[in-house]
Structure 1
């Protein structure tokens, strides 16, 4: 089972303020622990939304909308992707996640990723399976 731990953006992350050394050290130690346990798949911070864009679809047509985006509570500042044996194991790792805002209030969100088996049999799913085996 794969889970994404999502770190919500704040005004500071959107302003490009880098985390201070104590938070970087705590995050590094946590991710080292994930790696030693063999559950870490990927982790990274995201640059502010001012460096990104969205594609909005209306009537099947996509329009590019440049950042920044106003609602920081809807934005992501970073993520950690883990692979574990159960939802309970994912919860235990999430509980241990260092507070991403140091001493301020903050929130992380944890979501399970779909696996191809969740989608049921189809030709498109079989094509995705081939992509997985050739991209590794």
Structure 2
């Protein structure tokens, strides 16, 4: 099994459609999908994000970090939520992404989440992280 993150990226079209859809309808649709993931035993985490206008960006590209309040430039630069799935393969993650109920114009980026066992086990920071994960029940 491997963990994969599904990152939902909106567009102007998908955000407009979402705004006009009753919230209860969105909850029902996403709830059914989430329940499917839970019943399949592949859901590790899932979160939607607050409106981008309430967020900030910290730009570290210069010598001094620059903080900018939302909203940001283009909708396509934002992601609105994510899932982390523990599945057998990237192909299985793709299949779950294809079934994700999303508004037209939404894109889903799929990225593998490397496990701690893939890092050098004699590194002091990996040793500390492994101990923290064990203490918190993550391993």
Q: TM-score, normalised by structure 2?
A: 0.80
Q: Given the superposition, is the C-alpha separation of residues 29 and 46 from structure 1 closer, same or farther in structure 2, using an over 3 Å criterion?
A: same
Aligned residue for 2:6, secondary structure, equals: strand
Q: Larger deviation: 39-48 or 111-120?
A: 111-120
- What does residue range 1-136 of structure 1 map to in structure 2 within 5 Å? 1-11=2-12, 13=15, 17=19, 19-20=21-22, 21-58=24-61, 61-98=64-101, 100-101=102-103, 104-121=104-121, 122-136=123-137
How much does 1:131 deviate? 1.6
Q: For structure 1, which runs of at least 5 residues remain unmatched after alignment?
A: none
Cα distance between partner residues in 2 of 1:128 and 1:18: 44
Q: TM-score, normalised by structure 1?
A: 0.81
Cα distance between partner residues in 2 of 1:24 and 1:10: 20
Cα distance between partner residues in 2 of 1:135 and 1:62: 32
Q: For structure 2, which runs of at least 5 residues remain unmatched after alignment?
A: none
Give CA deviations for 1:17-74 in whole Å, capped at 9, x if unaligned: 3743444322211110100111111112111211011222145643322111112101
- Whether the aligned pair in 1 keeps the contact of 2:5 and 2:111 (CA below 8 Å) is yes
Q: Given the superposition, is the C-alpha separation of residues 77 and 125 from structure 1 closer, same or farther in structure 2, using an over 3 Å criterion?
A: same
How large is the Cα RMSD of the aligned pairs? 2.3
How many residues are aligned here? Answer: 132
- Whether the aligned pair in 2 keeps the contact of 1:8 and 1:77 (CA below 8 Å) is yes
